[in-house]
Each structure stands twice: as C-alpha cells, then as structure tokens.
C-alpha cells in the first residue's frame, strides 16, 4: 500500500539570487528570500543594508540586475506595481504616501476605485457610487478611521496618517502586504496601537502574508514569525525570533546594539 504524499506549498512570493547594482555600488547580492502562507516576516538590518531596495524590487518599483522574483509561482519582474496590486500584492511606505488635500473618504475611494478599475473620475464615482462608498467605509472601520472619514488628510495625527497609508494598501484587497517602517515617526504608545490594528485588520481581510521592514526590535520580536536580517546587501540570518534574540552577536552585528538594551517585556 502506497501512502500519498502532498506536495509542499510554494511560497507566496520569493526572490532567487537577486542582486541589484547602482553603478559600482552593490545594493543587494544574491538575496534569497521568501514568505509562506500565513507568515509575518520582519526584514531588519542597519541603515544601508538593502532593506528598502529589496522591498522596491519585490513590489515592482525596481528591476533586479540579476535574479528572479516570483509571486504565487509567477515571474513578476517588469510587471510593475499597478499590475502587482491587481494580482494581490500591495505596500505602504516609510514616508507617508497620502494626498494631503483629500479627505480620508476620498483617499480610500481612490484606492478602491483603482482596484475596481473605476478610474475615469474616482471623485465623481465616489459621490455617486454606493459600492465605492460602502467599501471606503468598511476599510475605514477596520483600520479605526470611521470617525475620521470627513477629515482632511493633512489634519490627521502622525499615527492616523500612518493608518490611512496602510488603509490605502488594504483597500487594494491584497493577499500579501509589504510595510516599510509602518510605525516610523509615531510615539511608542501609538506604535503598539497601530500594530494591533494592522494585525487584526489583516486577519479580518484574509491577508495571507505580511512583510515589514522595521527598526523597532520590540515590534519585531512581538509580531514576527520569522526574521530576515540583511547586512551590506546580503542575507546573514533567516530565523525565528527566539533564535535571533538569543544570539547577542547577531543582534550586535545587524542592529548595532546589545541584546539586553532592546529586549523588552511583552
């Protein structure tokens, strides 16, 4: 009697020996990186390690010099961020990427209209289209912005602006979301509130995988399933939080500080 064996699932997305050069400067060298279904992966490393370059390549803003990038088994080099969003991958940015003169409702409406391909005049559509209105309100509710739908984006607090940027990425209905410093510039108390909202929203929306580039080691330790560490454009670690934070030399090399100065009680 033969026992049937199920094939292991392919990663949600992966980079295979990805390198990126800018002239003589090597930003990334032979980076192999993947995210599986259900994973929250943190990418860490000192400034200049190549973290944002890696995310820009994965999300189609940059082309690698060499190597392959696959999303759900499909080669996505050259696809571009708009088509990638339609395939199910979206991102937020380290610098808040919102339209300061628009309301929260209008900002979310533009993202929803893009997903639904109603891009002729999204503002007119938002006023007349009940589907756009309902979707914008639903996303605002999930991300804790329902009471701020009428507020001009420029009047929001820094934490609310971060949530709006993340909400705009969620409005694209992604299966994978990449977050570049999702809590930068936000107070310590607000950082945890934003992360709790983000994780709950991802679960409610059926997001299959999350990748964050993050410097705050408390957040990295608390929320990650895996930690991928970069140094000088190379992957130097891919391990569980427990293994990573037990290795003082790794933390010192990658983060540049002692383990006992960043460990916090949870």
Please, are residues 13 and 69 in contact by the beta-carbon 8 Å criterion? yes
Whole-angstrom Cα distance, residue 198 to residue 218?
16
Q: How much is the average pLDDT of 209-216? A: 92
Q: Which superfamily does CATH assign the domain made up of 13-259 to?
A: P-loop containing nucleotide triphosphate hydrolases (3.40.50.300)
- Residue 259 is predicted with a pLDDT of 42
* Overall size of the chain counted in residues: 266
- Residue 24 is predicted with a pLDDT of 94
* pLDDT, tens digit, 9 for 90 and up, residues 24-78: 999 999 999 999 999 999 999 998 899 989 999 998 889 999 999 999 989 999 8
Query: Does the structure show a pLDDT above 60 at 86?
Result: yes
Angle, helices 130-142 vs 188-205, to 10°: value is 130
With cut-offs at 50, 70 and 90, classify the pLDDT of residue 127: low
What average pLDDT is seen over the chain? 84
Query: Does the structure show a pLDDT above 60 at 3?
Result: no
Domain regions of the chain by residue span? 13-259
- Residue 260 is predicted with a pLDDT of 39
Instruction: Name which residue leads in pLDDT, 9 or 37.
Output: 37
* pLDDT, tens digit, 9 for 90 and up, residues 104-126: 998 898 888 878 776 665 556 56
**Distances from the Cα of 222 to the Cαs of 47, 179, 229, in angstroms?**
22, 16, 16
**Strand ranges (E), the chain:** 13-22, 25-35, 40-44, 66-71, 74-75, 89-92, 176-180, 209-213, 226-231, 234-239
Please, are residues 231 and 254 in contact by the beta-carbon 8 Å criterion? yes
Q: Which of 23-27, 79-83, 121-125, 219-223 has the lowest mean pLDDT?
A: 121-125
Instruction: Give the residue from 67, 54, 259, 91 showing the smallest Cα distance to 170.
Output: 91
- Residue 32 is predicted with a pLDDT of 96
* pLDDT, tens digit, 9 for 90 and up, residues 136-187: 999 999 888 999 999 999 899 888 888 888 888 888 888 999 988 888 878 8
């Amino acid at each position: 009697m033969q026992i049937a064996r199920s094939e292991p699932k392919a990663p949600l997305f992966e980079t295979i020996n990805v390198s990126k050069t800018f002239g003589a400067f090597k930003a990334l060298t032979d980076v192999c990186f993947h995210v599986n279904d259900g994973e929250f992966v943190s990418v860490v490393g000192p400034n200049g390690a190549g973290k944002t370059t890696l995310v820009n390549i994965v999300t189609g803003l940059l082309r690698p010099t060499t190597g392959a990038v696959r999303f759900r088994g499909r080669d996505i080099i050259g696809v571009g961020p708009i088509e990638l969003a339609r395939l199910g991958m979206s991102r937020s940015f380290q610098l808040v990427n919102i339209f300061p003169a628009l309301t929260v409702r209008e900002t979310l409406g533009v993202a929803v209209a893009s997903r639904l391909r109603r891009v002729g005049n999204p503002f007119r559509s938002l006023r007349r289209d009940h589907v756009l209105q309902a979707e914008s309100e639903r996303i605002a509710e999930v991300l804790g912005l329902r009471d701020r739908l009428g507020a001009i984006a420029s009047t929001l607090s820094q934490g609310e602006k971060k949530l709006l940027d993340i909400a705009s990425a969620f409005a694209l209905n992604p299966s994978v979301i990449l977050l570049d410093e999702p809590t930068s510039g936000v107070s310590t108390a607000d950082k945890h509130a934003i992360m709790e909202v983000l994780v709950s929203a991802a679960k409610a929306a059926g997001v299959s995988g999350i990748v964050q580039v993050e410097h705050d080691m408390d957040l990295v330790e608390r929320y990650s399933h895996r930690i991928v560490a970069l140094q000088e454009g190379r992957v130097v670690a891919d391990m569980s939080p427990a293994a990573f934070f037990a290795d003082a030399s790794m933390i010192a090399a990658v983060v540049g500080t002692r383990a006992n100065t960043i460990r916090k009680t949870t």
